[in-house]
Structure 1
Amino acid sequence: MDKLPKIALPVIIGFILVIILISKSAITINSGEAGVLYKTFGGGVVTDEPPLGEGFQIVAPWNKVFIYEVRQQEVFEKMNVLSSNGLDIKLDASVWFEPKREFLGKLHQEKGEQYAQRVLLPAIRSAARSVVGRYTPEQLYSSKRDAIQHEIFEESKKIVEDQYIQLNDILVRDVTLPPTIKEAIERKLKQEQESLEYEFRLVTAQKEAEKVRIEAQGKADANQILSASLTDKILQDKGIDATIKLSESPNSKIIVIGSGDSGLPLILGNQ
């Protein structure tokens, strides 16, 4: 077997080095991610250029790329806060957020990869303590759930808006009160509901009684008007008309003349 030419060995070594270099320089950024470039010999974190996008990227082997998820993310947070009267309230919330893509380099440089734990969640805890402290346990349990959710979101958003984080929404999943307080509130709400039902039945009965009274008054007024209009002359005329119609009937009958000047005939028949 002939010996390899002297140039072959350096070529093979060079080829191997190129492969190693490419493998160290090639980076694949997945869907929903972006990369922050760190130049070891060029000033550190790149903040004045857009982050590296999805797909296959080639960087110098001595540089580094830090991968961030830039799609919407969710974290769950359980908090202990105090109500306006000092009672301990447990609050469960879901937080929807994402890093601001155009400031990803700044976020990495100033906050780091743990930015959610270092910046976002402390801001939400602070806002929740501030908001919940304005309400009583009864308000938190019943009517003000949507209000506190909106207020916590707005206050948290103000805190993180200049921290390169985009806060999309905060959802309050559960508000847990001390058992004794919860039972007292439920009893009170039940009593209020029963009171409202009683008032409704009372108003309904009053309306029904008023309706019957109006109908009775209407009938009485109608009868009074009718009685006032039925004079003796009118009654006599109507009696005469009825007698004439009956006398014209083919059925056999007996006519009895009433007594007095204005007496009306009485007609008796076998049919």
Structure 2
Amino acid sequence: MNTISKRYIVLGVVAIFLIIFLSKSTVTIGSGERGVLYKTFGGGVVTDQPALGEGFHLVAPWNKVYIYEIRQQELSEEMNVLSSNGLEIDLDATIWFTPEIAKLGLLHQQKGENYIDRIIKPALRSATRSVIGRYTPEQLYSSKRDIIQQEIFEATKEILDNQYVVLKNALVRDITLPPTIKDAIERKLRQEQEALEYEFRLSKAQKEAERQKIEAEGKARANDILNASLTDKILKEKGIQATIELSKSSNSKVIVIGSGKDGLPIILGDK
């Protein structure tokens, strides 16, 4: 084997080595991700520096990069929990969360890549059981859902504080009661609604009766005042005024002065 052939062999080996080295020394971090660097000969997980951002990075081949998604993530859990009186309730809850980007190294070091199963799921389940255990099925079925959602969020957040996770929101998507309990609650609600409707109709009838009574009393008082004011002299004067107006009419008539009852004129005949 001549010198030139040996040189080509050496160059080929070096090229292969460089290709392997570069393939092991580069990492591409995608959109919505961060990379946690692990230094094999440099103290392990890097926690005192920001995680690697999106894009292309050169990394020593003996080190490793762990990729974490930093977008908002969703976790839904279907749980069987107990109400305050010991009845089983099926509940479907959802939370939104993100890892704490500034402490991604600590999250990897202390919780690991499966941190969702290790800390978030247990936190949600524990918080939900604690909150639901304070309410009766009737309260869970009624308008308490918004309050329950907020309490589950706060209880879960309290557990996840200092766990390198940012909790965004919590939602109770469905609450399923045992059929017998649900039917009993619905019957009770219908009865309460019917009672309220009856009270409304009764109140309305009472108010209408009061209105009619007040109206009748007003008319009676008005008639009393009018009757008290109509003396004989006033009536005669009104009759005379009416006679004068009639006498001005173009219709043929005969007026007998002073021949009517109480001395009022009598009008005879017209066209």
TM range (shorter): over 0.9
- Matched with 1:19 is 19
Inter-partner Cα distance in structure 2 for 1:175 and 1:4: 80
CA deviation profile, 1:15-73 (whole Å, cap 9, x unmatched): 22212211111111111110100111111111111000011111111111110001100
Shift of residue 269, structure 1, vs aligned partner: 2.6
Inter-partner Cα distance in structure 2 for 1:43 and 1:250: 127
Shift of residue 238, structure 1, vs aligned partner: 0.7
Inter-partner Cα distance in structure 2 for 1:193 and 1:152: 30
Q: The residue matched to 2:263 in structure 1 has which SS?
A: coil
Contact 1:83-1:137 within 8 A present in 2 as well: yes
Q: The residue matched to 1:7 in structure 2 has which SS?
A: helix
- Matched with 2:115 is 115
Quick one: which amino acid aligns to residue 88 of structure 2? Answer: D
- Matched with 1:168 is 168
Shift of residue 146, structure 1, vs aligned partner: 1.1
- Matched with 2:177 is 177
CA deviation profile, 1:155-187 (whole Å, cap 9, x unmatched): 110110110011111100111111111111111
RMSD: 1.7
Shift of residue 250, structure 1, vs aligned partner: 2.4
Shift of residue 217, structure 1, vs aligned partner: 1.8
CA deviation profile, 1:219-266 (whole Å, cap 9, x unmatched): 222111111111111111010111111112222101134448941001
Inter-partner Cα distance in structure 1 for 2:12 and 2:66: 33
Inter-partner Cα distance in structure 1 for 2:29 and 2:257: 121
- Matched with 2:143 is 143
Shift of residue 211, structure 1, vs aligned partner: 1.8
Answer with 25-34 or 8-17: which moved more: 8-17
| Structure 1: unaligned runs, 5 residues or longer | none
Inter-partner Cα distance in structure 2 for 1:113 and 1:102: 16
Q: The residue matched to 1:267 in structure 2 has which SS?
A: strand
Quick one: which amino acid aligns to residue 177 of structure 2? Answer: L
After TM superposition, the structure 1 = structure 2 runs for residues 179-198 of structure 1, keeping only pairs within 5 Å, are 179-198=179-198
Answer with 247-256 or 145-154: which moved more: 247-256
After TM superposition, the structure 1 = structure 2 runs for residues 199-238 of structure 1, keeping only pairs within 5 Å, are 199-238=199-238
Number of aligned positions between the proteins: 270
- Matched with 1:63 is 63
Contact 1:251-1:269 within 8 A present in 2 as well: no
Contact 2:260-2:266 within 8 A present in 1 as well: no
Contact 1:33-1:67 within 8 A present in 2 as well: yes
Inter-partner Cα distance in structure 2 for 1:56 and 1:73: 24
Quick one: which amino acid aligns to residue 53 of structure 2? Answer: G
| Structure 2: unaligned runs, 5 residues or longer | none
Contact 1:33-1:71 within 8 A present in 2 as well: yes
Inter-partner Cα distance in structure 2 for 1:238 and 1:3: 150
Inter-partner Cα distance in structure 2 for 1:54 and 1:209: 78
- Matched with 2:82 is 82
Inter-partner Cα distance in structure 2 for 1:129 and 1:248: 97
> What TM-score, normalized by structure 2, do the two folds share?
0.95
Contact 2:82-2:133 within 8 A present in 1 as well: yes
> What TM-score, normalized by structure 1, do the two folds share?
0.95
Inter-partner Cα distance in structure 2 for 1:123 and 1:265: 104
Inter-partner Cα distance in structure 2 for 1:37 and 1:66: 7
